Each structure stands twice: as structure tokens, then as C-alpha cells.
């Protein structure tokens, strides 16, 4: 098992993710076994009315963050699938970048359980909380 780097994450993201996810313009600010942080910039292309970032973009960021959290935890990129994501939207994201801090809470041999805390740079004022299960294939 090796430690993944931000460069490893960027390379895998470019190689393995579909164009519509890449259109989110995700960047990696932190990648290590105990968690990852991904960021998407503010963009009118991700907004619905009144400059509010749409939930679909937020959930795609959270799901992607969990993929990288699992990979960082196990030390490599392996096939996996999302079993469940439960998202709680706590406040709107308005004309702001968005960060996703993801970590594995309970690892298993085939099922990983994790959480994602979403914020706009101030971790004291979360905009969303996501919990999810991922199956290792």
C-alpha cells in the first residue's frame, strides 16, 4: 500500500472521469490517507437562479471526493461503486467556491462508509453534509 499524492489524484481524475465531471473544474488541495479535500471554483455554469450553485453539482463534487477518499485510504485507485449517498443541504452556495472535505469513517473489506463536509472556506459554517457507502469491486 502506498501513499497517494495530489499528482496521482490529478492524473487519475484526468484519465478516468467523464467530461461532464471534469467540467466542474475540480482541483485537489489535500490528499492523504486520513482524508482528502477537493475544490470547485465559483462558476455561473454551475448555478441556477439567483446565483445559487445547483445541488447536482454539489452532489457530484461530494461523490467524487468520496472516490478519492476511498482511494487514498486503501492506497490505490481500485474499482468501486457508490451504494448510497445521503445529502443534507444546510445553506446555499452563492457565488462562491466550494470545498469538499472527505474521509472514511468505517472501513471494511468490501464496503467503505465515509462522510463529506461541504463548505465555502469557513469550516465553521458548513453548507452541506454527506454520508455514503461505497463498494469495492
Cβ within 8 Å of residue 89, ≥6 positions away: 55, 58, 127, 128
Average pLDDT over residues 84-98: 96
Domain ranges of the chain: 6-136
At 50 the pLDDT is 87
Residue 1's pLDDT band (cuts 50, 70, 90): low
Helix axes of 55-74 and 6-16: crossing angle, nearest 10 degrees: 120
The string of pLDDT tens digits covering residues 111-124 is 999 999 999 999 89
Decide yes or no: CATH 3.40.50.300 for domain 6-136. Answer: no
- Predicted TM-score (pTM) of the model is 0.95
Q: Is 2's pLDDT higher than 80?
A: no
Q: Which is it for strands 80-89 and 128-136: parallel, antiparallel or unpaired?
A: antiparallel
Amino acid at each position: 500500500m502506498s501513499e497517494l499524492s495530489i499528482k496521482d489524484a490529478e492524473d487519475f481524475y484526468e484519465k478516468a472521469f467523464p467530461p461532464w465531471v471534469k467540467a466542474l473544474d475540480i482541483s485537489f488541495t489535500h490528499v492523504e490517507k486520513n482524508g482528502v479535500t477537493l475544490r470547485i471554483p465559483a462558476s455561473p455554469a454551475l448555478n441556477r437562479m439567483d446565483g445559487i450553485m445547483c445541488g447536482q453539482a454539489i452532489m457530484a463534487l461530494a461523490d467524487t471526493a468520496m472516490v478519492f477518499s476511498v482511494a487514498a485510504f486503501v492506497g490505490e485507485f481500485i474499482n468501486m461503486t457508490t451504494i448510497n449517498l445521503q445529502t443534507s443541504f444546510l445553506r446555499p452556495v452563492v457565488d462562491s467556491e466550494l470545498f469538499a472535505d472527505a474521509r472514511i469513517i468505517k472501513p471494511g473489506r468490501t464496503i467503505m462508509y465515509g462522510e463529506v463536509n461541504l463548505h465555502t472556506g469557513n469550516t465553521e459554517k458548513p453548507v452541506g453534509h454527506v454520508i455514503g457507502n461505497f463498494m469495492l469491486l
